[in-house]
Amino acid sequence: MKTIAYQVSEYVKSKPYLSTALSQGIINLTSLARQIQPEIERSLRKPARSGAIVMALKRISDNEEFLSTHKIINILRKLGDITVRSSLTDYCFRLSESLLLSQAKFLNEIQDKKDIFYTSSRGVGESNIVVSSNLAPLIEEVFKNEICIDKIENLSAITVKLPTDNVKIPGIYYFIFQRLSWEGVNINEVISTSNEFTILMDEDSVNVAFEVIKNLKLL
């Protein structure tokens, strides 16, 4: 059964600007409780006392998780450049003794090419290579003796630069991906370094994803 405390918590989580105001102590809890009371009562399908809502709001503002969310928001406000690339293809190859040699040959072939996209990641049993789609013929020639597990075309990528202190704050990626999920953005792959990350998605989703990430800087 949903409680007043639970419903108030869910309401605050859905309003990032409200989280910030509460954590900074710049909002009157009694006034806020009266304002959100109708919404809480609709969710509970029963009356909810204003005093109980005030207490729930106070507990949230003192909660460690809530304070952590505020730290995340402060980091997101300092997001750097957001770069969008389209017309990408994602290859997944099974790891083999020759795969690194094939990758080295491919890198040698493209080292003088401009305005192309290339990134790769390596797991325990497979490796992914994401490239501009116009490099697909070269990939398929160089890697013709490798086992291609999967190939996904018509992808776009968004690369985001993070402030250097992002590594000290847990939950940043979760916070970003949660909001992308709320907007129905399906992420095909994530590739990250210390201070930037790249997400791959269908080209149809890139505009929505860009708006979500851009708006994180305004929280």
**Tokens at residue 62, please?**
């003192």
CB-based contact 190:106 (threshold 8 Å) = no
Residue pLDDT, tens place only, 101-145: 999 999 999 999 988 999 999 999 999 999 999 999 999 999 999
112 class by beta-carbon count within 10 Å (0-12 exposed, 13-18 middle, 19+ buried): exposed
31-58 in b/e form (b: 16+ CB < 10 A) is ebbeebbeebbebeeeebeeebbbbbbe
Q: Write down the mean pLDDT value for the chain.
A: 90
How far is 195 from 160, CA to CA, in rounded Å? 9
> In this prediction, what percent of the chain has a pLDDT beyond 90?
65
- Alpha carbons within 13 angstroms on the beta-carbon side of residue 112 total 1
Whether residue 198 is predicted with pLDDT greater than 90 in this model: the reply is: yes
**pLDDT of 20:** 66
Find how far residue 73's CA is from the centre of its chain. 13
Threshold 0.85, pTM exceeds: no
